[in-house]
Structure 1
Amino acid sequence: MDSLLKRLRTVLYWVSVGCMSAMLCIIFMQVVTRYVFGYTYEWSEELARFLFVWVVFLGSALIMGEGGHLAVTLLVSKIKGRPSGTVLQFFINICSYIFIGLLFTQGWKMTSVMSFQTSPGMGLSMSYVYAIIPISAVLMLLYTVRDTLRIIAEARGKNSAELAES
């Protein structure tokens, strides 16, 4: 599973870099055409905004896979390795599952509801823009399951070590 998630991380990284690069080029083109030629393409601002939304949600999944989200770790670091630390880690993961479930269900609803609307500049169905919400939720779920399996493995390893010592 780890090798699959490492490959997924690489894909997410390069898709994010590609979207950021495209967004940078589009915004640069927009500035040049506006100030040099006095003209902007209708679709450029819209596409840059949509790419930004995708980068944010893909980046959130990517950072979740690396454990890089902002967190208060004072209590976790103080009780790590104890049974109460394991319980706290499980509680944190349960909260993550709840958040991911809400993100997926509400994102799915929003994607379905917005399928009739098209963007004014590009004529693109807005469901394509909002589809990243449930997609990122699934990606976050994969990383959270991995973290849960690690917690279980660490807890079992400790219990086996404690039994061997007694």
Structure 2
Amino acid sequence: MAKALLVFCRAITWVQLLLLLTMLGVMASLVFTRYVFAYSPPWSEELTRFAMIWLVMLGGAVLALFDDHITLFVFVELMGPRVRAARNILVRLIMIATSGVVAYKGIKFADGMSGVIAWGLNINMTIPTYSVTVGFGLILIFNLILLIDDVAALFGKRAQLVPRQDQVMDGSFRPQDDL
């Protein structure tokens, strides 16, 4: 499982890199055309906006896998391993329920946008709106995997289903990773 997740997270990283380079190229050309030709292509800002939305949703999912969203760690560090595992299980259940609702509603919303066309890019709006469904769907799946690991930790075992974070990214918001 850890190897498959590692490959998947690295693939997401490459997709994010391509989206970021696309945004950089489009915005550079936008600045050039705006100031040299006094013309702004109508699709450029839409493309960068949609790419940013996909970047955020994919990045949020990867951060959820590594349990690395910004959070308050004041009391968590004072908890014992079993209490921390129980707390993590409760948090995972809340995240699973929340992301399940958002992913489900996101499908309905994206399907409702099927008749709407982005005027600049002339694409169907389901493409950018499905980013919410994909992002929260991944958060749901990743929290299910983390839930298995937390249940194992509650009973004093480690499932080790998730790869090490430093194999995918080089930074962390968690204080224990700063040591």
Deviations 1:125-147 (A, max 9, x none): 00111011111122112221221
- 1:1-166 aligned at under 5 Å gives the runs 1-82=1-82, 84-157=83-156
Secondary structure of 2:139's match? helix
The CA deviation at 1:33 is 0.4
Residue type matched to 1:114 in 2?
Answer: M
Secondary structure of 1:71's match? coil
Relative to its length, the structure with more helix (as a share) is 1
Q: Distance in 2 between matches of 1:86 and 1:60?
A: 22
Equivalences, count: 157
Larger RCO, structures 1/2 (Cα 8 Å, 6+ apart) = 2
The CA deviation at 1:75 is 2.0
Residue type matched to 1:146 in 2?
Answer: I
List runs of 5+ in structure 1 lacking aligned partners. Answer: 159-166
Q: Distance in 2 between matches of 1:68 and 1:87?
A: 18
* Runs of 4+ off more than 4 Å: none
RMSD of aligned Cα (Å): 1.3
The CA deviation at 1:53 is 0.9
Deviations 1:101-137 (A, max 9, x none): 1220121111011111000111100011101111112
List runs of 5+ in structure 2 lacking aligned partners. Answer: 158-179
The CA deviation at 1:157 is 2.8
Residue type matched to 1:103 in 2?
Answer: V
% same residue: 25
Q: Give TM-score scaled by structure 2 length.
A: 0.83
